[in-house]
Structure 1
Amino acid sequence: MEQEPDIFDRMAAQAAGVEASPLLSKEELPALSAKAFEAQNPSQTPSNVRQALQFLLAHGWLESAVKPKLFGLVAAHTTLLDALLEPLDLRVVVDDVRGLAFLAVVPGYAGDDTDESEQDDWTHPLMKRQRLTLEQSLLLALLRREFLQREQESGTGAVVRVTVDSLLPQLETYLGSTGSDMQERKRLGQLLENLRTHGMVTEVDAQDCITIRPMIVHLLNPENLQTLLLRLREVAEQGSAAKPEGTP
């Protein structure tokens, strides 16, 4: 005698929109249910929005000057993108005025169940903390100041380009002179290249200029600047304590 479908078979068949039939095996019913679900629930994420999200996940940020269409999609679908990123503890930040969009870790991700020592070593699986040396951080602060000054003069969103030569005396003020123009320029070039890999500046062009990217304002926020200032004071105090008595 042929066995009646059990309760699980009937539930699967109902979800698939078909009547339970003794001719359908238990292996066929779940597969049929999945196909019916896919047919009734097509992807709600447009392909162009998926492309924009994939670009953000691959690069971390994008500028309207370089990717205008993708930036427009991100700016128009921020709520949808935030919902898609929620399981990853990420969100999208859009700076409409400067034409910048970037990924950020949601507030409180690392601070709820970890102590201070664990937070110092924290890295998000997709968004690792950027570790900069003191010299790199100092140059970053100088570039940020230059960027904001130019914006005050020309308006927010203006393209900010500076010459490499104009940065040399500013850096020497804080780091001191090596006594060799070639060595100082090489030091600055290495620092700029490191910041370029972090997306803060462009590479040096044929006119010996760099463009400061707007991401610099968001990366180096007031809290980070305060931390840098405290660190510089510590270094200055250590240098003064190491000098022999009676030396200037």
Structure 2
Amino acid sequence: MTQSPVKTERRGAVLEVTLDRPKANAIDLETSRIMGEVFRDFRDDPALRVALLTGAGDKFFCPGWDLKAAADGDAVDGDYGVGGFGGLQELRGLNKPVIAAVNGICCGGGLELALSADIILAADHASFALPEIRSGTVADAASVKLPKRIPYHIAMEMLLTGRWLEAEEAARWGIVNHLYPGDRLMAEARAMADQLASGPPLVYAAIKEIVRDAEALRFQDAMNRITKRQLATVDTLYASEDQLEGARAFAEKRDPVWKGK
């Protein structure tokens, strides 16, 4: 029986997703479709609150698109499955936190996959690049996302030259939140995942929808949509038991108990 290239493990309210496709954790169409199903199920499971994505081993997080599979017939514009390439970057309604734990080389579509997470943690030996320019193609998602995340000129240099960034420089420009020694990365990532899993899921959902919705709006237009409760997650939050629980817990000087409703 063929071993799945995507491993999952539930730890309480945390779903750990490991891309495990030797030698380099590259993604072909089949792997992308499996990842889409995994993240769709994570999105739709009320018992899961946080996802943690990493790669197997300590050398590669993900180099992106599997060029060998492409040479064997996988079309670059083929069926990536729900959520688009890697199952994350086009998955609608994903209102739960996702952490990427980058354990090694992270380039091309692998960097685009990491950029689809909300928080990026990395091993201090990780490296980052967009080498598509050298193979005559475009890093499409990164061309949309990266100039909005880091200084424009740094993003354009990466896109136009394919230059590699070591982990420390990636952190300096804000691609990475925190760096850790390789043997501590997963422990630190799990600690952050557990911290988020203990937080208010309805607030997380509202934050993610607000951020997505506001990206294409002027500030006042975005604020009007929030205050008028035109966003589904905000409307749910303001009418929730959790909203009352937060106020009660503060008044009673105790930790809140979040139910997600």
TM-score by length of 1: 0.21
Task: Determine which structure has greater relative contact order: mean sequence separation of CA pairs < 8 Å that are 6+ residues apart, divided by chain length.
Answer: 2
Greater share of residues in helix: 1
Greater share of residues in strand: 2
Bigger Cα Rg: 1
TM-score by length of 2: 0.20
